Amino acid sequence: MKPNKNKALTVNVNGQSYMRIPVKTHVVLPNDDLDEVIVEYVPDLLEDGDIVFVTEKIVAISQGRAYPIDEVKPRKLASFLSKFVTKTPHGIGLGMPETMEMALQECGTLRILFAAGVSALGKLVGRKGDFYRVAGEKARAIDGPTEGTMPPFDTYVVLGPNQPKEVANRIKTLLDKDVIVAIVDINDLGGNILATSEDIDHDLLVDILKDNPLGQDDQGTPIGIIRKV
C-alpha cells in the first residue's frame, strides 16, 4: 500500500488520524460498467467502518458523460462568456468556449446568463464565487482538458455525474461490509461532496481529502478508502 506521489497516506483532522488508501484501477472509459470496476478492485481492501470515496469524474465517464473536445461546437455566446472566467493553474473550469458551451447546455442559457450578471455585480464589490452559487453544481462539476489529466481525458470535456446519490447507494449494495460510499469532486483548490450513501459530515470529508490524495495525473486511482487509525 503506497500513497500517490507527493501525497501522504495518513492525515490528522481535528485530533483524529485517517488513512487515505488509493485504489488503482484500469483506465475507465466511457460506458464501462462502474459496478464491475467497483467489484473488481474494492472489496478485498475494505474493513467495516471504512468510507469509500469515488471521484465524480469516473462516475460521469462510466455514464457516457465525457466528450472529446473536438466534438463540442461552442456558440458565439459561449466564446464570449468564457473570456470572463478566472483561470487557475489547477483547472480550466468554464474558462474555454467548449466547457462554457456544455454549461449552457447543462444548466440552460438563461441561468448561465443570470449567473454571469450576478457574478459581474459581485466583482464590483469585491465578492467572489457568485457565478457558481447561482449556476449550481452542474456548472461547477464540468471539467475541461488539462495537461495533468490522465489520457485520453486530457482532451475531453467531462460533465458532472447523473444521480450521484443513487450511484452512492447502489455501490454500497455491492460491498459486503459496513461502509459508507461518497461521490466526491476533489481538486487542488478544495473539494465538494456530491452525495453519500448515508448522512455524514461533508465538511469533515472535505477536510480529510482537501489535499487531493488521489491526484489528477497518471496515478490511475479514481477510488479511495478512508479509514480511522
pLDDT at 19 over 60: yes
Neighbours of 214 (CB within 10 A): 24
CB 85 within 8 A of CB 93: yes
For the record, the C-alpha cell of 164 comes out as: 450521484
- The sign of the CA dihedral 63, 67, 73, 78 is positive
pLDDT in tens, 38-86: 999 999 999 999 999 999 999 999 999 999 999 999 999 999 999 888 7
pLDDT of residue 8: 81
Domains of the chain, with CATH numbers? 10-65+160-228 (3.30.1330.100), 69-150 (no CATH)
pLDDT in tens, 159-189: 999 999 999 999 999 998 999 999 998 865 5
Q: Answer with the residue of higher pLDDT: 27 or 50.
A: 50
